[in-house]
Amino acid sequence: MLLAKLDLKGNASLDYYFNRWTEILKNLGDDTAVQERFFRQNYNAFRKSINEPFINDDRMYPLGSIATRTTLLDIYEKIVSKDPEGFLNDISSNSELYSKIINPDEASYELKESYLDLQRVQGVPAYLLLLYLLKKQEALRLSEADIIKINVLLVNFFVRRNLTDIPPTRDLTRLFMSFIEEIEGENYIGNVIYEKLRLRLLSKSVSDEVFEQRLSGPVYDENKGTVRFILCMLAKKEMTRETQQDLWAKNDRGQYKWTIEHIFPQGANIPDCWVDMIANGDKEKAKGYQNTYVHTFGNLTITGYNGELSNKSFQEKKDRKHSTTGAYIGYKNGLNVNSDVCDKDEWTVDIIKERTKFLIAQIKKRLRFRILFLDGVFYLLLCYFTSRHQVFSGHSFACRLIFSPIIGIKSLKSLSFESSTNSSIGSSHG
């Protein structure tokens, strides 16, 4: 439809527009859902500048305050009619930037992993913010390290959001659109963008107490994808080049090879060996324990051989070997997330509860979110000076030199709810 509009309104040949349009779609891939999402997010990220040529009254956004599936075509038809060549140039450039987000194969390892982590944790709504930041990267004085840091921040936000549904999905697009407007209105640059985004996300998220409460419950029922992400994050934490495993590899059917495994089986028919171990032979009690604990973090791990473990006894699951290679495929598979499982001789409710507490402590450490009082004081001082003296805006190190002796903060990293590594998943790569 838009291609036909370009041919109708533009001065070049249909072949020219077809070739340009083909390049745009090549950047976005064959998935029509991704293509449609790009056009929505492109408008929502740059709606202020896109609307400027159309303003002739007191309406700030005559093309619409937000692009949706139902309004998308009408919006872009008007844009194409107004300036076909300008539309084509902008959309071509922006699709190349979007391609770097969704297909980061040519990026550095750290940047690539930070983009992939955001995909893995279902952080797609944040792409409109990233598209804006990449488009304005030079003017905003953002380095690659800044983009990585922002990606990690977004990953940690989406972990918490996905397990609590706060803020709700319907609010996410406007959350990032409004932050773009704040960047433009307040002229944020450099590290101030990160710090302001961190505070914005904190203000929209649940407290640490609520998050911990949710982590303590049946998380598998809440969001399987996020639970798998967290387990992979913990499993990959201490991998080396020699023990590296691609926990995100897929089979020929597009399914993950590594999947979530319930140590105490989740099936309705609890095997007798498990009834005996978990409830001393009491089937009703075993069923009650299953209802309460089977989907909690303490009872979950990941394995590449879920089907071969299934309802087997705890000892069989732990010691299972590959029938051909003889390699361990059970809980002795070498993943550190299983280290506190394979050293057990039995699996009980008390062990599940203790392991849940242990894993929650690890998760909170990796996905720090809390802002301390002194952190807040330091941040207010930083904001004051960056607003008064733009020379500091991209140079938070200078501010640290000034203020850290006063309030005892040695590093700006203590301000963030970023993970303790460059990327939530892929930090140990040799």
DSSP state, 72?
H
120, part of any domain: no
> 245-296: per-residue pLDDT in tens?
889 999 899 899 989 999 999 999 999 999 999 999 999 999 999 999 999 9
Q: 57 is written with which tokens?
A: 């009254």
166, part of any domain: no
79, part of any domain: yes
133, part of any domain: no
In this predicted structure, what is the pLDDT of residue 318?
87
Count of domains for the chain: 2
Among residues 88, 103, 118, the one where a domain terminates is: 103
Contact 418, 149 (CB under 8 A): yes
In this predicted structure, what is the pLDDT of residue 308?
75
145, part of any domain: no
Residues with Cβ within 8 Å of residue 367, at least 6 apart in sequence: 156, 159, 160, 417, 419, 424
408, part of any domain: no
Q: Which domain holds residue 79?
A: 1-103
196, part of any domain: no
What size, in residues, is the chain? 430
Among residues 103, 135, 153, the one where a domain terminates is: 103
Q: 164 is written with which tokens?
A: 């609590």
Question: What are the residue ranges of helices labelled H in 121-190?
Answer: 127-135, 144-164, 172-186
Examine the domain organization and report whether 223 and 99 are in the same domain.
no
386, part of any domain: no
> 109-130: per-residue pLDDT in tens?
999 999 999 999 999 999 999 9
C-alpha 191/C-alpha 148 separation (Å) is 12
Among residues 80, 103, 126, the one where a domain terminates is: 103
Q: Give residue for tokens 């792409």.
A: 127
Quote the pTM value.
0.84
Examine the domain organization and report whether 94 and 225 are in the same domain.
no
DSSP 159-175: HHHHHHT-S-GGGHHHH
